[in-house]
């Protein structure tokens, strides 16, 4: 597949660059905030930033159709946007679950009314979403989930049960919840994909979970008769809808995500050069290896985005980037040497610990091979669906 930037892409780049420069200037202090392990930073400013992105029409560039307040951009323009976004160190996105996971799912499985109801507020940066899949007894084995929903006297679905590891539930206005709607059903049968408003005091309780970074990016969420506003894909079809969404989660970010990875790698290389650590041949070897692996990921992304039919593509992409980002986190600290294990010089025993950007990257990246489906699960998918190996006993 040919991949290069044409005149139209460069015009698009000028527009994106000018817009970002002007708007980042209007939000001093927001640049570089909210990256991996720093999701707590500048919460109010970053919510406002989502609306600003929306007002510029920059949310939903990758949706397969426009008309929701988004502009539709080509693949190369999406890469241009990601490059420019990373170049000005614009903040980590609060809206990515709605924009990159729910929206493509609604475009694939939602009704016209649902698309018209839910996509415009996502494109305006007004409504944030979270993902209610995992439960205490259902992570890798999602089909064993127990959260259920039943119709009340008014015909509305009411959800009860517990979700866990729900990223950004404390910020979200909505949650898409996978729940059992057919009593007595088993495994992936009888599930529905429900859209649930989060503002239901007494029916939804969000409890933050503290992570290794000392911050709380994810939560436990308890539902007690919470009302669902919609079912996507029809009652009982939740598994098909939910799996389609996971494909977006594992594969979709690809090229745009790699732009961010390249920036992170550049920072580690700069650190290594500045400190002289790069003279260590083992470290130099690892830096080059990461650089080369990033190129491999790029070609893999281009291959699959070029339309090649490949059932294993999302799993291969997830395996590649999860492990790569984790090794980057490890290397970021190795480059620092022993100092990487220390806190800031003014830290006093008993005070909450403060981590710098590289320490947070390292700690957060431990999760990269877990969320969105662990490495072991990706390998099982490839084994069974691509290589045709015998199915795992359940
Ligand atoms: C940072 C972060 C954010 C997250 N955000 C969300 C979110 O927003 N919404 C949401 O719903 N979930 C979220 N998750 C949850 C995530 O999807 C689960 O952690 C993941 O699916 C694994 O499930 P589990 O934690 O229950 O581990 P388990 O399923 O209990 O697995 C434990 C270990 O056993 C291995 N294992 C399990 N089954 C098999 C098998 N059959 N074969 C081989 N090995 C196996 C796993 O690979 C893993 O190493 C998040 C997780 C993290 C870390």
pLDDT digits (tens, 9 = 90+) for 52-88: 999 999 999 999 999 999 999 988 898 899 889 988 9
Instruction: Write the pLDDT tens digit of every residue in 265-323.
Output: 999 999 999 999 999 999 999 999 999 999 999 888 777 666 556 778 888 888 999 99
DSSP strand pairing (204-209 vs 129-132) = unpaired
DSSP strand pairing (174-180 vs 191-197) = antiparallel
Task: Confirm if 69 and 126 have CB atoms less than 8 A apart.
Answer: no
What is the pLDDT, as a whole number, of residue 306? 60
How far apart, in Å, are the Cα atoms of 76 and each of 8, 10, 79, 311?
10, 10, 5, 23
What is the pLDDT, as a whole number, of residue 235? 96
Q: Across all residues in the chain, what is the average pLDDT?
A: 91
CA of 366 to the centre of ligand 1 (A): 12
List CB contacts of 74: < 8 A, sequence separation 6 or more.
Answer: 8, 9
What is the pLDDT, as a whole number, of residue 252? 46
Model confidence at 2: pLDDT above 70: no
| Exposure class string for 253-265: b at 16+ Cβ within 10 A, else e | bbbbbbbbbbebb
Model confidence at 13: pLDDT above 80: yes
Sign (positive or negative) of CA dihedral 116, 118, 120, 121? positive
Which percentage of the chain shows pLDDT scores above 70? 95
The three-state secondary structure class of 346 is coil
Average pLDDT over residues 162-178: 97
Residue 39 binned pLDDT confidence (cut-offs 50, 70, 90) = confident
Average pLDDT over residues 157-174: 97
pTM over 0.75: yes
Exactly one of 249, 293, 309, 392 is catalytic; name it: 249
The three-state secondary structure class of 264 is helix
Which residue's alpha carbon is nearest to atom 44 within ligand 1? 376
Among candidates 123, 42, 160, 126, which has minimal Cα distance to 90? 42
Choose the residue to mutate in 213, 245, 371 for probing ligand 1, maximizing ligand atoms within 8 Å of C-beta: 371
- Backbone φ, ψ for residue 122 (5° rounding): -70, -45
Residue 248 binned pLDDT confidence (cut-offs 50, 70, 90) = confident
Cα–Cα distance, 128 to 169 (Å, whole number):
9
How many angstroms separate the most distant Cα atoms in the chain?
72
Average pLDDT over residues 229-233: 98
Cα–Cα distance, 146 to 136 (Å, whole number):
9
Average pLDDT over residues 321-333: 96
- List all residues whose CB is within 6 A of at least one atom of ligand 1: 130-134, 139-140, 165-167, 218, 367, 370-371, 373-374, 376-377, 380, 392
Task: Confirm if 304 and 261 have CB atoms less than 8 A apart.
Answer: no
Query: What letter would DSSP give residue 343?
Result: -
Stronger pLDDT, 206 or 26, i.e. the higher one? 206
């Amino acid at each position: 597949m040919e991949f290069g930037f044409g005149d139209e892409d460069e015009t698009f780049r000028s527009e994106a660059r000018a817009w970002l420069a002007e708007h980042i200037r209007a939000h001093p202090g927001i640049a570089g905030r909210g990256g991996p392990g720093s999701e707590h930073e500048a919460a109010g400013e970053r919510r406002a930033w989502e609306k600003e992105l929306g007002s510029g029409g920059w949310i939903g560039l990758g949706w397969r159709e426009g008309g929701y307040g988004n502009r539709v951009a080509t693949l190369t323009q999406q890469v241009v946007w990601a490059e420019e976004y990373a170049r000005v160190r614009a903040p980590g996105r609060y809206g990515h679950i709605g924009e990159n996971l729910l929206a493509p799912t609604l475009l694939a499985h939602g009704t016209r009314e649902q698309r018209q109801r839910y996509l415009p507020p996502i494109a305006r940066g007004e409504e944030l979403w979270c993902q209610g899949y995992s439960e205490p007894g259902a992570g890798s084995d999602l089909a064993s989930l127990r959260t259920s929903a039943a119709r009340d006297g008014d015909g509305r679905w009411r959800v009860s049960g517990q979700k866990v590891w729900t990223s950004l539930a404390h910020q979200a206005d909505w949650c898409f919840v996978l729940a059992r709607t057919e009593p007595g059903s088993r495994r992936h049968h009888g599930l529905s994909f429900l859209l649930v408003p989060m503002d239901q005091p007494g029916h939804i309780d969000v409890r933050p979970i503290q992570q290794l970074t000392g911050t709380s990016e994810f939560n436990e969420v308890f539902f007690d008769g919470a009302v669902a506003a919609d079912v996507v894909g029809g009652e009982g079809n939740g598994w098909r809808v939910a799996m389609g969404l996971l494909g977006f989660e594992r594969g979709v970010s690809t090229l745009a995500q790699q732009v961010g990875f390249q920036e992170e790698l550049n920072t580690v290389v700069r650190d290594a050069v500045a400190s002289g650590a790069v003279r260590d041949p083992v470290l130099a070897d690892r830096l080059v290896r990461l650089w080369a692996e990033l190129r491999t990921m790029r070609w893999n992304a281009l291959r699959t985005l070029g339309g090649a039919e490949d059932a294993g593509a999302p799993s291969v992409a997830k395996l590649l980037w999860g492990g790569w980002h984790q090794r980057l986190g490890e290397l970021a600290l190795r480059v620092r040497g022993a100092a990487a294990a220390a806190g800031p010089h003014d830290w006093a025993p008993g005070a909450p610990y403060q981590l710098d950007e590289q320490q947070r990257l390292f700690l957060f990246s431990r999760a990269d091979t877990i969320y969105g489906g662990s490495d072991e699960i990706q390998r099982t998918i490839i084994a069974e669906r691509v290589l045709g190996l015998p199915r795992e006993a359940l």
